[in-house]
């Protein structure tokens, strides 16, 4: 009888151990399911809602801090060893984009074709570092000294954005130019193609998900290289929305931003009306086609 009791106790203990193991596996699986999706390219690491250089920390303000020992492959380290994307312009050959009637949403649903001549466009949004050069020359307003040089400049009015673009022998892109750069002759829904809106392709959903939580601003310009257009233009979806000059001469913001949550806000034809500076709006410049290499 004693052996039978011991056997029963062993079976009971084994059952308890198996149950605990099952619970542990379930908890671990649930935790893995709650992990935020991958968003940072090789050379950058995810810290809270940001992608920072290897070896950097992050401040309570959401700024990447300290020297980086490595950055993403297209980036360099500045004098303080912070990561930033070098300034480059991309040649856009020009052409026509065709969109179906079901593509357009909002106030431009009557527009289904965009045609532009050749032009050049900044590879990424204008950064704090670039804007400071204009400010040092007295052509742009000064910025707070604690801003990261590699992040897009924001809270810039359309007039201030135009002043910067004039300083670098450019201008704000027209709505049609911006749309063609994002959609191409194929009429893509997103800058990279018709599908695949994921966190590694665009800096979006950083405030309340789906890509991060409690984000306080955009990521480094160029921190989502997988979201580039076939021509190599970066960040046309997400990070900061971008000022464009509309067909009637008014100003609007395009491309969605770090705070966008819905796919509709990041499709190439999404547009935000208004001309007031905002914490989620920045810009990039367009140029004559012969300025592409400068």
Q: What is the Cα–Cα distance from 103 to 44, expressed in whole angstroms?
A: 35
Residue 242 pLDDT: 98
Per-residue pLDDT tens digits for 165-216? 999 999 999 999 999 999 999 999 999 999 999 999 999 999 999 999 999 9
Q: Are 82 and 72 in contact (CB under 8 A)?
A: no
15 or 239, which is more confident? 239
241-245 and 281-282 strand pairing: parallel
Res. 56: pLDDT tops 60? yes
> Which CATH number is 87-291 given?
3.90.1580.10
Q: What is the pTM of this model?
A: 0.85
Tokens of 266: 């990041």
For the stretch 99-115, pLDDT in tens is 755 554 544 445 578 99
The confidence score (pLDDT) of residue 35 equals 62
**pLDDT of 60-96, one tens digit each?**
999 999 999 999 999 999 999 999 999 999 999 999 9
**How many residues are listed for the chain in this entry?**
294
Residue that is written with structure tokens 């592409």 in the block: 292
Which residue ranges make up each domain of the chain? 87-291
Residue 269's DSSP bridge partners are: none
SS3 call for 53: strand
User: Which of the 8 DSSP states describes residue 152?
Assistant: B
């Amino acid at each position: 009888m004693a052996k039978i009791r011991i056997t029963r106790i062993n079976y009971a203990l084994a059952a308890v151990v198996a149950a605990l193991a099952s619970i542990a596996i379930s908890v671990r699986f649930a935790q893995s399911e709650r992990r935020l999706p991958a968003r940072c390219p090789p050379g950058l690491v995810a810290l809270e809602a940001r992608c920072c250089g290897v070896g950097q920390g992050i401040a309570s303000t959401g700024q990447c801090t300290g020297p980086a020992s490595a950055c993403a492959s297209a980036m360099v380290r500045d004098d303080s060893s912070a990561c930033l994307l070098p300034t480059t312009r991309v040649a856009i050959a020009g052409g026509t984009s065709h969109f179906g009637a079901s593509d357009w949403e909002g106030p431009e649903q009557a527009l289904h074709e965009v045609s532009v001549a050749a032009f050049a466009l900044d590879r990424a949004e204008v950064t704090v570092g670039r804007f400071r050069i204009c400010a040092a020359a007295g052509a742009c307003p000064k910025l707070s000294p604690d801003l990261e040089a590699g992040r897009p400049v924001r809270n810039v009015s359309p007039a201030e954005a135009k002043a910067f673009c004039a300083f670098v022998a450019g201008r704000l892109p027209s709505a049609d130019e911006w749309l063609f750069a994002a959609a191409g002759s194929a009429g893509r829904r997103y800058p990279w193609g018709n599908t695949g809106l994921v966190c590694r392709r665009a800096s979006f959903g950083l405030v309340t998900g789906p890509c991060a939580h409690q984000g306080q601003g955009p990521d480094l310009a160029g921190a989502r290289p997988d979201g580039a257009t076939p021509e190599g233009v970066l960040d046309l979806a997400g990070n900061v929305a971008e000022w464009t000059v509309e067909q009637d001469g008014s100003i609007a913001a395009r491309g969605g931003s770090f705070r966008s949550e819905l796919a509709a806000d990041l499709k190439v034809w999404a547009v935000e009306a208004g001309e007031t500076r905002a914490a989620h709006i920045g810009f990039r410049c367009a140029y004559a086609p012969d300025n592409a290499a400068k």
